[in-house]
């Protein structure tokens, strides 16, 4: 199967108003010449990015303002995407996280995370796969999961669960696809320096985070190459390999202590007058 070629093709990026999604949109425009459909909740951010990319990268850009925690918004976005039959690819990047004690996670926060990270991804993927199966056109989907979906992270238990679900869902579904010109890929980065990890609890973990430009570049390359699953960063890949030989209880215990220490330090800083 030949690599995906994005030049002058329409590519969707969800969660495009900040972080990994915004950087992926920039690289797709400037380095690959892709026309973009940018989707996020914040209209002002999307309009600003649209203006920049159209002026400086000389590509065409459409925006869709949608809250992916709402079923109606997801359905409406899908209808817009498939209306003209020009969609070539999609990067399903939008997601929300929670770093803290599970006992302090509200039911509303859980529902928002579940809808955004899981339900909306399944809705988009199911509709787009059906479209490309029916048309037989070339294209692909990249779903952004997480290393936490492979090795669950204490104090991010629900987030880990949502990312594990979409990893299993996508890798299994990929083997059901009959259209030989269409691919379904999963990207599983570790922590990335973005707005999502800018919270106080992540302060002492910043040294573990990957620069967003590097993460975006590796993700797009994995998408173009139609890799089934890609973990960015040599150390992440090596670590993931060797961790298979160690008891998960031991690994998660060590990780839990590191994350708990970061939270405690954040609480101490916040308690200072």
Catalytic residues: 159, 163
User: What tokens does 47 get?
Assistant: 């309009």
What is the DSSP track for the chain? -PPP--TT-EEEEESTTSHHHHHHHHHHHHHH--EEEEEES-HHHHHHHHHHIIIII---EEEEE--TTSHHHHHHHHHHHHSSS-EEEEEE-------S-GGG--HHHHHHHHIIIIIHHHHHHHHHHHHHHHH---EEEEEE--GGGTS--TT-HHHHHHHHHHHHHHHHHGGG---TTEEEEEE----BSSGGG-SGGGGGGGGGPBPHHHHHHHHHHHHHTT-SEE--SHHHHHHHHHHTTS-HHHHHHHHHHHHHHHHHHHHHHHH--
């Amino acid at each position: 199967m030949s690599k995906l070629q994005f030049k002058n093709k329409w590519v969707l990026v969800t969660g495009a108003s900040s972080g990994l999604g915004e950087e992926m949109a920039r690289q797709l425009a400037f380095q690959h010449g892709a026309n973009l459909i940018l989707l996020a909740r914040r209209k002002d951010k999307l309009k600003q990015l649209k203006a920049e990319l159209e002026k400086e990268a000389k590509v065409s850009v459409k925006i869709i303002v949608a809250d992916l925690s709402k079923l109606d918004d997801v359905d409406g976005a899908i209808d817009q995407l498939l209306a003209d039959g020009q969609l070539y690819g999609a990067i399903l990047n939008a997601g929300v996280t929670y770093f803290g004690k599970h006992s302090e996670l509200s039911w509303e926060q859980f529902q928002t995370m579940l809808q955004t990270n899981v339900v909306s991804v399944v809705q988009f993927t199911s509709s787009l796969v059906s479209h490309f199966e029916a048309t037989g056109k070339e294209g692909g989907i990249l779903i952004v999961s997480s290393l936490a979906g492979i090795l669950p992270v204490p104090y991010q238990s629900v987030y880990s669960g949502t990312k594990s679900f979409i990893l299993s869902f996508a890798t299994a579904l990929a083997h059901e696809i009959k259209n030989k010109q269409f691919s379904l890929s999963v990207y599983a980065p570790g922590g990335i320096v973005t707005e999502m990890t800018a919270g106080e609890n992540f302060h002492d973990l910043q040294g573990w985070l990957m620069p967003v430009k590097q993460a975006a570049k590796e993700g797009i390359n994995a998408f173009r190459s139609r890799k089934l699953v890609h973990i960015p960063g040599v150390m992440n890949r090596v670590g993931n390999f060797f961790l298979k030989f160690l008891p998960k209880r031991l690994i998660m215990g060590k990780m839990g202590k590191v994350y708990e220490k970061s939270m405690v330090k954040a609480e101490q800083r916040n308690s200072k007058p």
